[in-house]
Structure 1
């Protein structure tokens, strides 16, 4: 049995698919993964024993320029990704029994599955993009809603119109070429009426959060048994546990002085620092021996050894830190990151940084909360509630779906 998994987005969109692929393999099934051709994603999938089928442009080429992507960039990228999905997925799906899509609005994936007669699943890692009467939609390129509009139902209808403006023409053009009828609501077509939520229920409770009928699986975690580098082990063994600071791909557009700000903030708390280079290639600000710089590293092992984790608030990093029992400081910038920052604060396992740009003072203040005995105790308590079987749950559901069984409401 073979399943095609596809995404386009950051590492936080790719790594869960690697975890799911491992879960499928453990149940005797094979997975193919179509994802952006960034070299770090290829290496990540290779570590999981899954070859990468390149899909679309490299994410780094889109987001790591001198300036953040604009709305105009989004309107150029959307039809490009639609075309890439029709071309790449149609070939990659040969011999597959189902197609699962996630990441940036995967318009085109369901349509390929429809043409080939395959079961299709849309998975998400949070509920923020799912229509809801409880909260408004997030920001999306296109015509903004009037500030005077407060009815969430109307706001979500306008969100659907923005998705149509981004993807509709390209999607329906490719559908017509395959002899498929047009779609009038791209967003709801992609989401289906029953998307799968691959998020931990403690970190991301979903009761009443969307009008759709969710299938909960738990987070898809890729096990990592790589040893830490010897030099890092030696650094960790000396003195108090350090503070980890890393912003992943979000560092690409961080302020020029971000390394200085975080270093001074950590030092103000009397702690040493493990600094992740990220996509901005952050570097030490001086020759002091209290800062150790890391590139790609086993975060699951590292986070168990640090006093706190300062990060951008991606779903994957938030879950990994929570599972490790390390208190967190989340410095959110875009998309779902403010949500994860809020949840960390609500659970008492760390602090949500005020604003998107940390200063030595603001980050030091947030670290005071995260480094408190109360946060450490609470973080260790919550760590015991984080589920680690989400990928296996989802793999089993996928195989059941292929067999024609309707996914039950899974309690995780």
Structure 2
């Protein structure tokens, strides 16, 4: 079987698709990848040939971080470019394929290309909150008025149409396909997958839509830790990991978190991330690191302070380590709410983040009872999500 796996966005969007690609390759299938250009070399290092799609999304730094936000006209031009790019890249990569699997909600072209080629396709979402549901408003925390939540989802659908309907229909016309009347419903389809752990992110109510939950798509990482980091970990009590991944946080955020961790009497492992956070002094209780194997690191830390991405939340939960989430946008507030609900950590609102607000959050996360619950939850996190998804792909293409 020849399968096309496609994803756009940041590392958290792309890595799950690469994890599924590894499982499909292990089973002997021919795998093609469509991923952003800044991940092509990384995928190549794993033995995959990939087609670039979309743009390289990086957190702004330096002068770029101070630039004015794009104008409405610039945003419209960017969306027009992104839509056409997705259609062109996906169409080229999908020739000769038997199925298309698209990871993430911003998959403008995958289902249209599959329709044109007459092959099956599916979109996989990484968080329950990406699915229209009466259980929560778009990107919101669980709860609230179900009717009000559904109205918010209707507003969300209208917003998608205003931004993208004309652009997608222009590209569908190039393929000889009929126009759409609702972008979001088309992208999700009637039978999307939910690539999230059932304990961390249980499946919500989805009226009119049959959702299959596969579990999270986890890419096994065997990379060793750098000797300097390994030595730092071995030199004292478990430190606190601080990292915000691809989020555009400022240097002041790094300072706030380091000071709060120190006030809790803990050493700090600072992940520089796309924001290129740096140390605030030369003290020996703090080490700055680049990309790291979180699967190897997290079991050796006392707590993980992070932005609440689905991948980091799942990795920390698998490691049985308490979490402090500082959610910023998208599905991150949802994951923060789940960590609180499960009793495996806490959170601090981004707008309220300060050394004073973070200190009690760290104190709560470092409580032995929270650590015990985190250790208990670790044993329930499923690790076979890619196998479940691969079984489904093989059945749908049989």
TM-score interval for Structure 1 and Structure 2 normalised by the shorter chain: over 0.9
Counterparts in 2 of 1:101 and 1:225: CA distance versus 1, 3 Å: same
> Is 1:158 the equivalent of 2:155?
yes
CA contact (8 A) 1:332 1:356 kept: no
- 1:272 is aligned to 267
1:70 deviates by 5.5
Q: Which moved more, 1:259-268 or 1:97-106?
A: 97-106
- 1:170 is aligned to 167
SS of alignment partner, residue 106 of structure 2:
coil
- 2:232 is aligned to 235
Q: How big is each residue's C-alpha offset from its partner over 1:337-371, in whole Å with a ceiling of 9 and x where there is no partner?
A: 00001111111111111344521111111110111
> Is 1:286 the equivalent of 2:287?
no
SS of alignment partner, residue 31 of structure 1:
strand
- 2:99 is aligned to 98
- 1:410 is aligned to none
- 1:346 is aligned to 341
CA distance in 2, matches of 1:170, 1:46: 32
CA contact (8 A) 2:310 2:335 kept: yes
Which residue, out of 360, 364, 367, partners 2:359?
A: 364
Q: How big is each residue's C-alpha offset from its partner over 1:67-124, in whole Å with a ceiling of 9 and x where there is no partner?
A: 5966835433322221011111111012211011122421111111111111110110
CA distance in 2, matches of 1:256, 1:164: 37
- 2:143 is aligned to none
Q: How big is each residue's C-alpha offset from its partner over 1:123-154, in whole Å with a ceiling of 9 and x where there is no partner?
A: 10112222222322249xxxxxxxxx963333
The aligned runs of 1:22-101 (5 Å cut-off) are 22-38=22-38, 41-60=39-58, 65-66=64-65, 72=72, 74-101=75-102
1:196 deviates by 0.2
- 1:142 is aligned to none
- 2:187 is aligned to 190
1:255 deviates by 3.3
Counterparts in 2 of 1:329 and 1:209: CA distance versus 1, 3 Å: farther
CA distance in 1, matches of 2:61, 2:52: 17
SS of alignment partner, residue 66 of structure 1:
helix
- 1:303 is aligned to 298
CA distance in 2, matches of 1:374, 1:328: 13
CA contact (8 A) 1:5 1:34 kept: yes
> Is 1:214 the equivalent of 2:215?
no
- 1:408 is aligned to none
> Is 1:5 the equivalent of 2:13?
no
Counterparts in 2 of 1:107 and 1:231: CA distance versus 1, 3 Å: same
What are the ranges of 5 or more consecutive residues in structure 2 without an aligned counterpart?
A: 141-145
CA contact (8 A) 2:251 2:277 kept: no
CA distance in 1, matches of 2:286, 2:189: 47
Counterparts in 2 of 1:15 and 1:71: CA distance versus 1, 3 Å: farther
Q: How big is each residue's C-alpha offset from its partner over 1:51-75, in whole Å with a ceiling of 9 and x where there is no partner?
A: 2211022112889941596683543
CA distance in 1, matches of 2:294, 2:102: 25
CA contact (8 A) 2:105 2:187 kept: no
The aligned runs of 1:124-143 (5 Å cut-off) are 124-138=125-139
SS of alignment partner, residue 86 of structure 1:
helix
TM-score (norm 2): 0.93
What are the ranges of 5 or more consecutive residues in structure 1 without an aligned counterpart?
A: 140-148, 404-412
Counterparts in 2 of 1:71 and 1:191: CA distance versus 1, 3 Å: farther
CA distance in 1, matches of 2:266, 2:321: 15
SS of alignment partner, residue 158 of structure 1:
helix
CA distance in 1, matches of 2:71, 2:128: 23
1:298 deviates by 0.4
TM-score (norm 1): 0.90
Counterparts in 2 of 1:271 and 1:62: CA distance versus 1, 3 Å: closer
Q: How big is each residue's C-alpha offset from its partner over 1:21-67, in whole Å with a ceiling of 9 and x where there is no partner?
A: 011112111221111111xx234423432222110221128899415
CA distance in 2, matches of 1:316, 1:57: 21
Which residue, out of 319, 332, 339, partners 1:337?
A: 332
CA distance in 1, matches of 2:151, 2:223: 49
